[in-house]
C-alpha cells in the first residue's frame, strides 16, 4: 500500500486520541459505519490522509479477520504518528471507554432494562447505519464505474445479499465470498487486458 498522506500539519497524540474517542461513541454499526466519519475528519476537514489511504484501509480491513474499526484506527494512527507504540496506545485508549460502556449496558440490559426499550433503540439506529453504508457504497460505485460495468456491481450485490440471507449463520464464512470475487475480478481483468492487447496488435 502506498502512503499518500498530504503535506499538512500532522496531528498530535492527544488530538488523535480525542478524535477517535468521539467517533467511537457517536458511531453505530461497527467499523464500516465508522469509516464515513473517519473520512470526514481525517480527509475532508483536517487533510491528514488522502482518499486513497482511506480506500486502501477499508479494503484491507474488510479482507482480514478481526474488527475493522480497531484495524482502521490502528493503521491511521501508525501512518500519522510514525510510532507503533503510540499507535497502539491511541487505539487502546480511544476504544477502551466505548468497550467498557458496552459491557455496562450489556449488564444493565440483562438485569434492569426491558428488552422492549432496546428494540426501540435498535429500530432507531438501523436506518442511520443503512444510510451511512449506502452513502459510502454509492461513492465507491461512482469512483469505480469506469473500472467495472454496472452489471458486475449488481451481480456482486445480488450474490452477496443472497449469500447473507440464504446461507445459515454457522456456515456463513465471508472469506469464501471474498476469495470467490477476487478470483472473478482477476479473471475479468485478465480477459480485459488480453482484449486490449489484441486491439493494439491489430
pLDDT in tens, 4-41: 444 457 788 899 999 988 888 776 666 777 888 888 88
Please tell me the least confidently modeled range out of 1-15, 68-82, 83-97, 172-186.
Answer: 1-15
Give me 152's grid cell: 458486475
Confidence of residue 115 (pLDDT cuts 50, 70, 90): confident
Query: What pLDDT is stored for residue 89 in this prediction?
Result: 92
What is the per-residue pLDDT for 8? 57
Residue 108 CA, chain-centre distance (Å), reads: 29
Q: Is the pTM of this model over 0.75?
A: no
List all residues 6 or more positions away from 141 whose beta carbon is below 8 Å from its beta carbon: 153
Q: Is the pLDDT of residue 1 over 60?
A: no
**DSSP per-residue letters across 106-152:** HHHHHHTS-HHHHHHHHHHHHHHHHHHHHHHHHHHHHHHTTTS-HHH
Amino acid at each position: 500500500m502506498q502512503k499518500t498522506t498530504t503535506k499538512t500539519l500532522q496531528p498530535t497524540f492527544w488530538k488523535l486520541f480525542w478524535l477517535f474517542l468521539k467517533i467511537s461513541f457517536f458511531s453505530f454499526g461497527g467499523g464500516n459505519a465508522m469509516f464515513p466519519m473517519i473520512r470526514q475528519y481525517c480527509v475532508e476537514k483536517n487533510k491528514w490522509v488522502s482518499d486513497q489511504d482511506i480506500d486502501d484501509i477499508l479494503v484491507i480491513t474488510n479482507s482480514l479477520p478481526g474488527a475493522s474499526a480497531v484495524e482502521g484506527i490502528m493503521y491511521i494512527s501508525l501512518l500519522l504518528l510514525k510510532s507503533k507504540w503510540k499507535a497502539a496506545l491511541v487505539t487502546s485508549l480511544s476504544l477502551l471507554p466505548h468497550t467498557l460502556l458496552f459491557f455496562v449496558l450489556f449488564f444493565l440490559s440483562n438485569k434492569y432494562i426491558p428488552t422492549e426499550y432496546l428494540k426501540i433503540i435498535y429500530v432507531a439506529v438501523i436506518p442511520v447505519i443503512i444510510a451511512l453504508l449506502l452513502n459510502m457504497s454509492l461513492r465507491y460505485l461512482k469512483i469505480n464505474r469506469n473500472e467495472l460495468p454496472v452489471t458486475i456491481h449488481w451481480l456482486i450485490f445480488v450474490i452477496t445479499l443472497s449469500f447473507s440471507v440464504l446461507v445459515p449463520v454457522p456456515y456463513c464464512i465471508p472469506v469464501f465470498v471474498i476469495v470467490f470475487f477476487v478470483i472473478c475480478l482477476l479473471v475479468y481483468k485478465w480477459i480485459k487486458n488480453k482484449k486490449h492487447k489484441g486491439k493494439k496488435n491489430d
